[in-house]
């Protein structure tokens, strides 16, 4: 039974002791190998850049920042502390009944926690833009609630998988078509607590 995270030079990072324990108890894998795709420093710089772009565009505008549960929680928290002025926060949930990897199924939206957005400017924040179906449906649903404007921000975008016309207004990082976990993103419920974005080989042991 083993678990390791590699940096981009193939060196084993050994500081995830608690995660390693968790891996033993909750996952059926005999071996899990992860590679850091985006380090804490890279994520932090990317979010600095996103926050500057949002601030430049909004000027004095009041915002309703709407995060998409559950993958966006870290991004929402880190972005919020970099934004000034009047900001309300709300959350929505979206699930697309995925199987093991990234095959999207029927999209289910839950807007019950969305605050009143009528006549307000909304910044919709999600972890990753994959096919784009989730963001497209959410932008439409928030406009249907009477928002004055809806801009979309994602930490990651898989450029080769887009199935929709819409593109996010703000993108942190473009990534190849690989399955990533960490910094809020999960695989079967685990790994959201990793502070980096890691590439996980979901075929290993599953
Ligand atoms: P879309 O509707 O754009 O195809 O799907 C976006 C959603 O799919 C994301 O919010 C996320 O929940 C999930 N997703 C897509 N790619 C990945 C990935 O590489 N890792 C994880 N953990 N979730 C993903
Ligand atoms: Mg999601």
Instruction: Give, for all 206 residues of the chain, the pLDDT tens digit.
Output: 345 566 656 666 544 444 444 454 555 544 567 788 999 999 999 999 999 999 999 999 999 999 999 999 999 999 999 999 999 999 999 987 665 555 566 889 999 999 999 999 999 999 999 999 999 999 999 999 999 999 999 999 998 888 888 899 999 999 999 899 999 999 888 889 999 999 987 654 44
Give, using CA atoms, the residue closest to atom 20 of ligand 1.
180
User: What does the pLDDT read at residue 18?
Assistant: 44
User: Has 130 been annotated as catalytic?
Assistant: yes
- Ligand 1 center to 201 CA (angstroms): 15
Ligand at shortest distance from the CA of 134: 1
CA gap 43, 49 in Å, rounded = 10
Q: What's the CATH architecture for 42-175? A: 3-Layer(aba) Sandwich (3.40)
Active-site residue identified among 130, 169, 177, 186: 130
User: What does the pLDDT read at residue 165?
Assistant: 81
Whether residue 197 has its Cβ less than 6 Å from ligand 1: no
Cα 144 to Cα 61, 89, 113, 138: the distances in Å are 21, 18, 15, 10
Whether residue 126 has its Cβ less than 6 Å from ligand 1: yes
In the DSSP assignment, the letter for residue 58 is: H
Domain boundaries, given as residue ranges, for the chain: 1-38+177-206, 42-175
Please give the angle made by the CA atoms of 135, 139 and 140, to the nearest 5 degrees.
120
Whether residue 192 has its Cβ less than 6 Å from ligand 1: no
**Residue 87: Cβ within 10 Å count:** 15
What residue has token string 């473009």? 174
CA gap 127, 161 in Å, rounded = 15
């Amino acid at each position: 039974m083993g678990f390791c995270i590699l940096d981009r030079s193939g060196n084993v990072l050994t500081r995830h002791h608690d995660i390693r324990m968790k891996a033993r108890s909750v996952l059926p894998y005999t071996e899990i190998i992860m590679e850091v795709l985006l380090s804490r420093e890279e994520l932090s710089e990317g979010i600095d850049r996103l926050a500057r772009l949002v601030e430049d565009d909004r000027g004095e505008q009041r915002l309703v920042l709407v995060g998409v549960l559950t993958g966006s929680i870290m991004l929402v928290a880190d972005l919020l502390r970099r934004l000034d002025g009047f900001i309300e926060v709300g959350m929505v949930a979206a699930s697309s009944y995925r199987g093991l990897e990234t095959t999207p199924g029927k999209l289910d939206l839950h807007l019950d926690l969305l605050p009143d957005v009528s006549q307000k400017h909304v910044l919709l924040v999600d972890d990753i833009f994959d096919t784009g179906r989730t963001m497209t449906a959410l932008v439409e649903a928030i406009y249907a609630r009477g928002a004055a404007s809806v801009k979309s921000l994602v930490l990651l975008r898989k450029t080769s998988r887009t199935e929709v016309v819409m593109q996010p207004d703000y993108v942190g990082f473009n990534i190849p078509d690989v399955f990533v976990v960490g910094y809020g993103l999960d695989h079967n419920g685990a790994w959201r607590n990793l502070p980096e974005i890691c590439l996980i080989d979901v075929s290993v042991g599953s």
